[in-house]
Amino acid sequence: MRTLAEAGHELTVITTEPMKNPPANYREILLTKIDGDNEAKDLNMLELQGSGVMSSAFILIIMYSQFAKTLFENVLQHPEVLKFLETEQHFDLVITESFLTESLYGFAQHFDAPLITFSTFGSSMWTNELVGTPAPLSHVSHFLLSSTDHMTFWERLQNCAMHLYDRVYYHFLYLPKQKLFYDKAFPMAKLTFEQQMQNVSLVFLNQHFSLNFPRPYPPNMVEVGGIQLEETKPLPEDLQKFLDEAPDGVIYFCMGSNIKSVHFPKEKRDAFIKTFAKLKERVLWKFEDETIPNLPPNLKIKSWMPQKDILAHPKVKLFITHGGLLGTTEALFFGKPMVGIPIYGDQMMNIRRAVRTGYGVLLEYHDITETTVHRAINTVLSDPSYAKNAQMISQRFRDKPMTPKQTAVYWTEYVIRHKGAPQLASPAMQLSFFQYHLLDVYAVVFLMMIIIGAITGYFVRKIYRKMFNPIKQAKRKEKRM
């Protein structure tokens, strides 16, 4: 949003997070008093740890059963939003996030404007079906599974099962709820919920092929991964001094914004602290409780740290992370190798990618001990190939004809200039499920094979009888004589 405002566009943004120092052409409709805010802040996300099919299916159920209702009650029924919808305003374009937000697509109908959606973590079934993106299950893994693009038979079987489960639940149980909310919030919409779902002009993806696995995209699915990577800013004085004066380099440890290090069980927390105390490197750890006593002198903890600016510092030698997309993207942009402790969602897949590509190692959450932590850190720091591979990915990531910001601005303005850019739409959007997967063609071919086989069998039997029956009759006559 800031990028579009800097490009000169007038923006009206419905958000729960106010922008710091917004430009003059940026107007916010701030949503406050969101139900569940306090509970979410104290939620122990480590309890969701798991990467198998059953764990992923459980996470999907939680999301599908809670997000739609929460979205409707806290956004579409919010007094500020209702007041906004009563105003007569004109907009050239509507942009919404595409993470279980289908009922929000009605804003495009309400303002009679083209719709662009933005996926914060990359492509998935939710985004693929908006623009007809092919996603072969043989090498495109479900985002909640840990498989790479080179899957074993068992992983392909799990991938098919997870995809089938997700598709059935999504279409028959989840989407009807979103349709209900869409109809309630936008009763005057020209297009039905189903029609609007097929009327998305373009999808932005927060990923890039150099960091992820190559996938087939139609022209109206565009990668803008790394758009958050603005120019680095000066570090706070204490952090700058801590980094600059580290003779043997620094390790940066952060479990993201949702997963909190303070929720680590004491034995796992102590395993990290004891390991750090034995290292020659200094350690920066984003830890929400700054009152922990008896910390080793080479360890500095703070409840918040400017992650991107820290990763940009040349003294940082290793990033210990949960494997979230933003953090891994930032680390690779600056060429930093990783130790990954994935907890849920796409984190395991991101770390599996790091292991396979050679810029990171996996440290299983349930396997955290002083021994395993030391082994993981020592593996990366003692083998220069990890840093070399991270630098190689960084070079590939930076090698682009346009920056992510320039790409986002260009395609946004392209959709506006061409009134929704229908020329980008894949013909797959006009096909039914049976037509798209050629099931009707396969059925006819199968039927034709049965008919041809039956006819062939009929004539073979006829020929057989004509050729061999006279011989059999002659033999019978000889026996009688």
Q: What is the mean pLDDT of each run of 10 residues along the chain (481 residues)?
A: 94 93 94 64 63 71 84 91 93 95 96 96 90 92 83 92 93 94 94 95 94 88 90 91 96 91 93 96 95 93 95 97 93 97 87 93 95 97 97 95 95 97 93 88 95 92 75 62 60
Instruction: Give the residue extent of every domain in the chain.
Output: 31-225+402-430, 237-398, 437-480
- Alpha-carbon gap, residue 365 to 343, rounded angstroms: 7
- If you count them, how many residues does the chain have? 481
CB atoms within 10 A of CB 182: 25
pLDDT the model gives residue 145: 84
Looking at domain 237-398, its CATH class is alpha beta
pLDDT the model gives residue 52: 58
pLDDT the model gives residue 297: 95
pLDDT the model gives residue 212: 82
Q: Are 374 and 234 in contact (CB under 8 A)?
A: no
In angstroms and rounded to an integer, the radius of gyration of the C-alpha atoms of the chain is 29
- Alpha-carbon gap, residue 397 to 224, rounded angstroms: 11
pLDDT the model gives residue 37: 53
Beta pairing partners, 117: 96, 203
- H-run or E-run covering 108: helix 106-110
Q: Which residues contact 476 (CB under 8 A, 6 or more apart)?
A: none
Place of tokens 């750890």: 285
- Alpha-carbon gap, residue 203 to 218, rounded angstroms: 10
Q: Are 126 and 98 in contact (CB under 8 A)?
A: yes
Beta pairing partners, 257: none
DSSP 74: I
DSSP 33: S
- Alpha-carbon gap, residue 116 to 95, rounded angstroms: 5
Q: Are 107 and 91 in contact (CB under 8 A)?
A: no
